[in-house]
Structure 1
């Protein structure tokens, strides 16, 4: 994944209302129930069906770190989908998103302006239209570059152009991302 996709995943996790199962057995039972069978869970995790069955029954309790990470990631991706969808829908229709980033911004603008890229910390709210586009692109499997372009376009319009009140024709380049956090 990338900066924006990871940030969207973290923002999704902030909206869950119940804690995710903690033990490997509980996580495995939840995953088996979600994918409807031990064989599907085994294929998803890259282990044998018998290994999954042993975790479900409690014979195995402590997975190796790689398996524990894959298991937690798969459970996290499926945990409380309706709650996360409701939060995304609200952000895309009424609330918008907040972007906190430090990245290199360069400009294509009129002669005489400073167009040298420089590292800037920016915290800015983006309207629901950009949130909706970002969520739709993420759900459709957009690349990290495409997600960054949507965020850059939103920052260009809202932060740099001030919703069309200044810097007409300014084009922003969003590169060398140090960090980005999305919240809604």
Structure 2
């Protein structure tokens, strides 16, 4: 379904990484995707429209349109929602298998990353492009937060802590006051 497996939010990047483990292909056409999403929302068009940040009339227009551009924001929102909801059991089985086999995941990203320590010292945020391995317990924390519907800010806190442990400290114990800041994500992709 998606050719682009990168994202600019942590939730979407996790969902797109999960899509590599699907056993069936999700619906391709907009009407089929909307039918699937409506079924997941108990056929409540208003609830689905709210979730996609649009109106029920816009959803009906999208469903009946002959063709829509892949770049249309509503088209992209529908695709993201299908990716988020497709095959939840397969997703959980993949997560369990990953955690049972050492719990590692790769992360590739480009974002503004900085470091703040006690006594006001800091490495001011700057644009960095990195590929790192996230070790235990961070994959499990990210999966648990994803399953619990943790908002993006909570996922960002977990990933910031993981980056601090994996990049800045590289196995050395961190001081309690040190904090990594992860801002303005341009590109983010998980591999597991």
TM-score by length of 2: 0.67
Query: Which residue in 1 is equivalent to 2:83?
Result: 76
Residue 172 to residue 15, structure 1, CA distance change in 2 (3 Å): same
Match of 2:23?
A: 17
Aligned counterpart, 2:66? 62
SS of 1:104's equivalent in the other structure is strand
User: Residues of 2 paired with 1:157 and 1:42: CA distance?
Assistant: 43
Greater displacement, 87-96 / 148-157: 87-96
User: RMSD across aligned C-alpha pairs, in angstroms?
Assistant: 3.5
Is there any run of 5+ residues in structure 1 with no aligned partner, and where?
none
Give the 3-state SS of the residue equivalent to 1:99 in structure 2.
Answer: strand
Task: Mark the structure with the bigger radius of gyration.
Answer: 1
Measured against aligned partners, the alpha-carbon deviations of 1:97-146 in whole angstroms (never above 9, x if no partner) come to 211123322242699x9734433322111114111111212232323232
Separation in 2, partners of 1:116, 1:24 = 44
Aligned partners of 1:109 and 1:115 also within 8 Å: no
Could you tell me which residue of structure 2 aligns to residue 86 of structure 1?
93
Give the direction of change, closer, same or farther, for the CA distance of 1:161–1:89 in structure 2 (3 Å limit).
same
The one of 153, 174, 181 aligned to 1:174? 181
Partner-residue secondary structure (3-state), 1:95: coil
Is 1:27 the counterpart of 2:36? The answer is no
Is the Cα–Cα contact under 8 Å of residues 41 and 47 in structure 2 kept in the other structure? no
Query: TM-score, normalization: structure 1?
Result: 0.69
